[in-house]
Amino acid sequence: NYLKIFSPATVANVSCGFDALGLALETVGDTMTFTKTATKGVKITQITGADLPLDPQINAAGVVALAMLEKHPVDFGIDITIHKGFTPGSGLGSSAASAAGAAFGINQLLGNIFSPLELTQFAMLGEEATCGTPIADNVSAAIYGGFTLVRSYEPLSIVKIPVPADLKVVAIHPQVEVKTKDAREVLPKEVPLKDAVTQWANVGGLISGLYTNDYQLIADSLTDIIVEPARKHLIPHFDEVKQQAIKAGALGAGISGSGPTIFTLCKGDATAENVYKTIQNTYQDKQIDFNMILSKINTKGI
């Protein structure tokens, strides 16, 4: 009758995999509780850590919960609390964490009747309500854990990709606002075939590197020649951070989701710590507040 869960923050795109790849973090995310009540309906009774609407009709978690109870009516109600462990608008899948968490938590109270794929579909409704597009890259990573590939939207098909054991994420979240909607407006409408070939070859290389623990192949493939050039001007000092991170040993760096967070993948703790310090130093004198993240990849999902 009561459940407490941790729903992870996620890095969408992972450079070359725009709207198709995502990964889940271990140390950053939302903590949510779900309680069965006698009064039917969904109530969000408390949100801490961020200023977000309690009205379930316009809250990512609420939208998901309402859709699930509409699909599967029950004779009890559900109270939800959300503690946001990271800032909305960071590019780390804030709405996705709440939406995926709601899908998982409500499913448990309903007796675990929906599959992970169905939970992803419900969670996508939360993404649609909050950022205008029912994107699956963040929510699938939160639900399945590890790296996920959204192989197809219609029909929805999610592939879980293995995580090499030494892979760490170091990220910096500069406290500037980048709205997903705005970051999608700067995207190119068309892509030259030559660029598309480069990009999908890198997606293949990255996936292959993840399956075979080939860190060099991961490093070589972790690039984005289509979306990053169009968006990087939205993120202060992006090029400098990326350059310094790679010099300090990162396998690669890119924009997390639609930004402003810049993520890097690193092999091993020592390199990750070095990259962490290097990025921190790069931003220290920039007069922009920022948060640093060092995390393992969450391989199990919610």
184 near ligand HSE, judged by CB under 6 A: yes
Q: How far is the CB of 137 from ligand HSE (least distance, A)?
A: 5
How many residues form the binding site for ligand HSE (CB under 6 A)? 12
180, 199, 264, 271: which one contacts ligand HSE (CB under 6 A)?
180
The torsion angles phi and psi of 121, rounded to 5 degrees, stand at -60, -45
Report in angstroms how near the CB of residue 21 gets to ligand HSE at its nearest.
9
Choices 78-86, 131-139, 236-244, 276-284; region in contact with ligand HSE by CB under 6 A? 131-139
CA end-to-end span of the chain, whole Å?
18
Active site residue 128: no
Among 7, 10, 13, 120, binds ligand HSE (CB under 6 A): 13
Site string for ligand HSE, 91-130 (x = CB under 6 A): ----------------------------------------
Instruction: Give the pair of three-digit tokens for residue 85.
Output: 């462990």
Residue type, 117: L
Of 49-57, 118-126, 132-140, 197-205, which part binds ligand HSE (CB under 6 A)?
A: 132-140
CA distance 65 to 43: 9
Give the separation between CA 300 and CA 207, rounded to whole angstroms: 18
CA 224 to chain centroid, in Å, comes to 17
Q: Residue 33: name the closest of 83, 74, 67, 75 by CA.
A: 83
**Omega prior to 53 cis, within 30 of 0:** no
Say whether 127 is catalytic: yes
Site string for ligand HSE, 233-272 (x = CB under 6 A): ------------------------xx--------------
Q: Does 228 bind ligand HSE (CB under 6 A)?
A: no
Q: Of the candidates 91, 5, 4, which has an alpha carbon nearest to the alpha carbon of residue 300?
A: 5
Q: How far is the CB of 79 from ligand HSE (least distance, A)?
A: 28
Which pair of structure tokens corresponds to residue 242? 């990326």
CB of 45 to ligand HSE, least distance (A): 27
Set 10, 35, 120, 127: catalytic member: 127
Q: Does 199 bind ligand HSE (CB under 6 A)?
A: no
**Nearest to 12, CA basis, from 125, 198, 171:** 171
Cβ-based nearer residue to ligand HSE, 143 or 183: 183
Task: Spot the catalytic one: 35, 120, 130, 180.
Answer: 180
User: What character string, x for contact with ligand HSE (CB under 6 A) and - otherwise, covers 133-152?
Assistant: --x-xx--------------
CB 148 within 8 A of CB 21: yes
**CA 298 to CA 141: how far, in whole Å?**
9
Residue nearer to ligand HSE on the CB measure, 258 or 278: 258
Among 6, 19, 79, 166, binds ligand HSE (CB under 6 A): 19
Smallest separation, CB 43 to ligand HSE (Å):
27
Known catalytic residues are 127, 180
Binding residues for ligand HSE, per CB under 6 A? Answer: 12-13, 19, 131, 135, 137-138, 180, 183-184, 257-258
